Structure 1
Amino acid sequence: MRKSALVLLLLCCSSTFTIAQKLTRLDSIKVVPLDTVYWKRTAQFGINLNQGSFSSNWKGGGVNSIALGAFFNAKSDYMKRRFNWTSEVQLQYGIVKNQGQDSRKNVDRIFLDTKVGHRISPVWLAFGNINFLSQFASGYRYETLAGGGERNVLISSFFAPAFLTESMGLEYKPVTYFNLQFGLGTIRQTFVTNDSITFGVPTRYGVAPGKTVRNEFAFQLIANFDRNIAENLNLKARYQLFANYSTLNAIDHRLDISLTAKVNKYVNVNLTGIVLYDKDQDDAIQYSQGLAIGFLYSF
């Protein structure tokens, strides 16, 4: 009887020790994630206000004016293994009011862009991209009449024009702040949904009379640069070349540049410029430039 009890006690102790060993081993297992997912998101909202006023006897000359503008920029970047998805939104609108004149817009932009890529080497990706460009409000050319006075000639409005571009090709990205996109197969739709612009723009931005859309098959080159070139000073540039395969003698070029200096957490100075050559719009080079000081909130 004593021998049986002793054997039973030894068996219980052995089982308990074995279970404890197993529990210890399970607790010591390290959890290793199967994959790593990276999301990077940034957004900015800003309001710019410029104002100038002069007394009636100010000998230096000038006109009372006020300008107000707002913008919203957002960007998201998703990366998982070899897959990359980047999306960007840029919205801008501003008006200026000079004494003796009606208010006029001085900046107007809708830009939406999304791109997916698959990394095929450390610096090369295969990509597919869609972007959209238009404006919020009507734009006018202001002409002085021979007998005095002024008339407004409509030259653009929402979706007149608008550009929708789909592109596939290869992307070269040697560093995080610079890339080149070679869109070997690119299709662009130009929309003009307001026939009232025909008087002001007889070319209708390349869209034939009676039509609302024009399709083009082309090669597209895009270069992007976005980097802090000094403390609190950011330079952002985007160059786009669009070469219609059927009209290679009329290549479109567009350069957008933005230089932003942060004065403090909520105040910034922004210098922007656009240079554009598109024969469907005008035979000459177009450009615009703006300088603004205002409130900036990043989140």
Structure 2
Amino acid sequence: MSVTPDRPGRPVLAQPSAVEPGLDAGWIARTVAAALDEDLGAAPGRDVTTQATIPASSTGTAALVARAPGTLAGLVVVAETLHQVAARLGLPDPEATFHAQDGDAVERGQVLASLTGPVQVLLVAERTLLNLASRASGVATATAAWARELAGTGAQVLDTRKTTPGLRALEKYAVRAGGGTNKRMGLHDVAMIKDNHVVAAGSVGAAVRAVRATFPDVAIQVEADTTAQALEALDAGADFLLLDNMPTPVLAETVAAVRARQGRDGIPAHVELEATGNLTLDRAREVAAAGVDYLSVGALTHSAPILDLALDLVP
């Protein structure tokens, strides 16, 4: 696969992305393979329309185009999708020239990439690469709106685990492309003690102690609905507090109470605080002004509409 950028002075990229960390190449390959199996049937599969109507020898160019303004993510899947389709059909890899990269803001009608090669490969790959890139770009676009709203406040927007099964890595990558921050990747890397854990363990303190004893290497976040619960969690040894569904005055009061305890009695010098629950874009700056470090927004991934992208053959 030839990946040719056209920006003066820009280096040749294995993936059209400035997002760090990038998507794992192995994850991309596995995800594209599963998506193609879903569309074509078990490998090598078939596209009964394209393969019946277009000769294998036919070549052409297709433009990947934005049909709406937004923020890009997911272009990194394009080359792998074309490569896998070409391999299934026994045809040469198309060449891809990218005119934009993941993380870029784009306008309606902007050409994002030019793809040249066997027309069968271009059309068979079309829906898979559009599904993945449109979904990721929708998440990036939604995230960018929050990042712009929070600019200058000192607070950052976080994602959650409310992701599409099988696409978590892509959607969290898209959050980064949109200017947001990833919270935890799953249940394995950060302990989050919520109300059901407290009920099962008997108390916040018991839950924190159990995690510390079993998994001493992980950070512990505790959910709190009130100022009293937040202070109890702080005393129990939480590293990070999730302040859930608090009205803004209560949130500000809780933040002040926690900040007043920082650096005393074994409490860290800075306790990370996250607001969550019923957050809307029009409240973002108000919530940030309460002094939290983060606003976590499940809607970034569970409710973002796609960014409309298209693949058009050039006459």
Shorter-chain TM-score tier: under 0.3
More helix by share: 2
Bigger RCO of structures 1 and 2 (CA < 8 A, at least 6 apart) = 2
Q: Scaled by the length of structure 2, what TM-score is found?
A: 0.20
Q: Give the structure with higher Rg (CA).
A: 1
